[in-house]
Structure 1
Amino acid sequence: MKIGKRLNQLHDMVNEPYDHIWDCCCDHGLLGAALLNSQPTAHIHFVDVVPTLIDALSNRLKLHFPENYRWEAVCMDAGQLPLATYSGRHLVIIAGIGGDLMMDMLSTLQGKNPDLTLDFLLCPVHHQYALRELLIARQFKLKEEKLVEENSRFYEMLLVTTHDDSNTLPDVTRTGSRLWLSDSDAQRKACENYLANTLAHYQRIQRGKPEQVSDIVTAYEQVRI
């Protein structure tokens, strides 16, 4: 099961041991399948609300992992994950959906499990700024964030946690901090293009509804790469 650049970056951000990894809105299950190979002690839960997807995925997993029983494919709403039923460290991955739906899932899961330490790996396709505002309001802490360009689209990826027992993790910011760091000319160019595209998007909205996005435009204008 080969994965592309976006899923590969999400995979690489899972660099701590977990007991349970929930691959939500898993679609074809490519990310979770890769984690079955790289996370030898984790139980991988594949979650989607589409029954036909889950049935097909279950058959593929049985074919590719016939001797591996550390997985289950479940048809359910990601906001209803039975996290408290399972002991150990949890990572909830939510990717490939809009930030508005992602915010609903986050709020529901955190609200139902206020005492659990939960890590979330997030990759929204829209509404990144609003998602970051929610994470700030709900006092999530940042573990890592990355920017990836794939097929002429940009993706923000955030690894956050509900509790920071070490008191060393930084706050989530509205426009990103580590997001804009680059270790190559290509990554720097991607950051510059993403910032330009994002600013242009909100400036277009500003021309018609300035009261809605003026603060957002100002925030992105202050980003330095």
Structure 2
Amino acid sequence: MRLSKRLATIDSFVEPGYQAIWDCCCDHGLLGMQLVAREVANTVHFVDIVPALMDELTAKLARYSPIQGVAHWQVHCMDVAAIELNFQQRNLVIIAGVGGELLLRFINHILAAQQQFANTHRNEALAELEFIICPVHHTYKVREGLLEQGMKLINEAIISENNRFYEVIHISKQATRSLTLTGSSMWHRGQPRHYQYQQKLLTH
């Protein structure tokens, strides 16, 4: 399966070792299927709110699943804000292809659920919760919202695809690098398109 530049970059950010990966707004499930094939998590969850897409994806996954053994995937036709994570497991939530305002709503719902779990299970340790996001617009406002939530940076990249710029941002509260409003490690000198995008951000 051939991934777009954006999805390939997200895939490159994902290292093995997660109990659960949530491919949210997964559309046709290309990224999640790649993650299943790479066996980077115990379970890859595909989440989208469009029933027809989820039915098609379920049939496709069933065809490619091993004949023996447990399938390492689940399909959920639901709002991303309503997903239920086991916060004692290491989770990675991937959200791509949606606008900044909606993306922040999803993240805020998930973090609120994590906080509620922490408040009611004070003697139980929380596992690390990570996000990889790629908003289609309003990235500056997304970064503002992430900073308000205390997010730190794991990795970031700029992608130029179909004459548009996208940012892929990997974050968690347990990371040690500071997240900035205009990015830090994603800029590469000698890349004219990076300079073009940087000027656009600075005139925001």
TM-score of the aligned structures, taking structure 1 as reference length:
0.80
The Cα of 1:163 is off from its aligned counterpart by: 2.8
Equivalent position to 1:178, from 180, 185, 197? 185
Matches within 5 A, 1:77-92: 77-84=79-86, 87-92=88-93
SS in 2 for 1:178: coil
Query: 2:111 matched to which residue of 1?
Result: 110
Structure with max Cα Rg: 1
The Cα of 1:151 is off from its aligned counterpart by: 1.7
Identity %: 38
C-alpha change, 1:118 and 1:40, in structure 2 (3 Å) is closer
- Please provide the CA RMSD for this pair: 1.7
Query: 2:123 matched to which residue of 1?
Result: none
Task: Tell me the distance in 2 between the aligned counterparts of 1:102 and 1:88.
Answer: 22
Larger strand percent: 2
Task: Tell me the distance in 1 between the aligned counterparts of 2:103 and 2:41.
Answer: 27
The Cα of 1:158 is off from its aligned counterpart by: 0.5
Gaps of 5+ in 1: 203-216, 218-225
SS in 2 for 1:172: coil
C-alpha change, 1:91 and 1:190, in structure 2 (3 Å) is same
Equivalent position to 2:134, from 104, 107, 123? 123
Q: Check conservation: 1:136, 1:171, Cα contact below 8 A.
A: no
Gaps of 5+ in 2: 119-125
The residue type equivalent to 2:137 in the other structure is H
Task: Tell me the distance in 2 between the aligned counterparts of 1:129 and 1:109.
Answer: 21
The Cα of 1:87 is off from its aligned counterpart by: 4.3
Give the paired residue count: 192
Deviates more, 1:152-161 or 1:33-42: 33-42
Q: Check conservation: 1:17, 1:39, Cα contact below 8 A.
A: no
TM-score of the aligned structures, taking structure 2 as reference length:
0.87
The residue type equivalent to 2:142 in the other structure is L
